[in-house]
Amino acid sequence: MLIIPGIIASSYPRVLNSYESIATVTVGAGGSSTITFSSIVGTYKHLQVRYIARNTTATDSFIIRFNSDSGSNYARHKLSGDGSSASAAAASTATYMASADYPAGTSTFGGGVIDVLDYANTNKYKTMRVLAGYDANGSGIIDFRSNLWQSTSAITRIDITSNSNSFAQYSSFALYGVKG
Partner 1 sequence: MAATYTPLATTTLGANAASVTFSSISGSYTDLVLIAQGQGTVENYAYMTFNSDTGSNYSNTILTGTGTSAVSTRNSNVTKIYLTPYYGTFYTDFSNITICNILNYSNSTTYKTSLIRAGRASTGGGTEASVGLWRSTSAITRIDITASTGNFVTGSTFTLYGIKAA
Stretch that binds partner 1, among 64-72, 91-99, 125-133, 156-164 (CB under 8 A): 125-133
Distance CA 141, CA 111 (A): 11
Distance CA 6, CA 171 (A): 36
Contacting partner 1 within 133-152 (CB under 8 A)? 133-138, 140-142, 144
In the bound state with partner 1, the residue whose beta carbon lies nearer, of 35 and 52, is 52
Structural element, H or E, at residue 158: strand 158-162
Contacting partner 1 within 53-112 (CB under 8 A)? 54, 79-86, 88, 107-112
In the bound state with partner 1, the residue whose beta carbon lies nearer, of 19 and 90, is 19
CA 48 to chain centre: 7
Ramachandran class of 56: left when φ > 0, alpha when ψ lies in -120 to 50, beta otherwise: alpha
Distance CA 37, CA 19 (A): 17
Min CB(88)–partner 1 separation in Å: 8
The SS3 assignment for 133 reads strand
Q: How many residues in the shown chain lie near partner 1 by CB under 8 A?
A: 60
Binding site for partner 1 (CB under 8 A): 1-12, 14-24, 50-52, 54, 79-86, 88, 107-113, 131-138, 140-142, 144, 170, 172, 174, 176-177
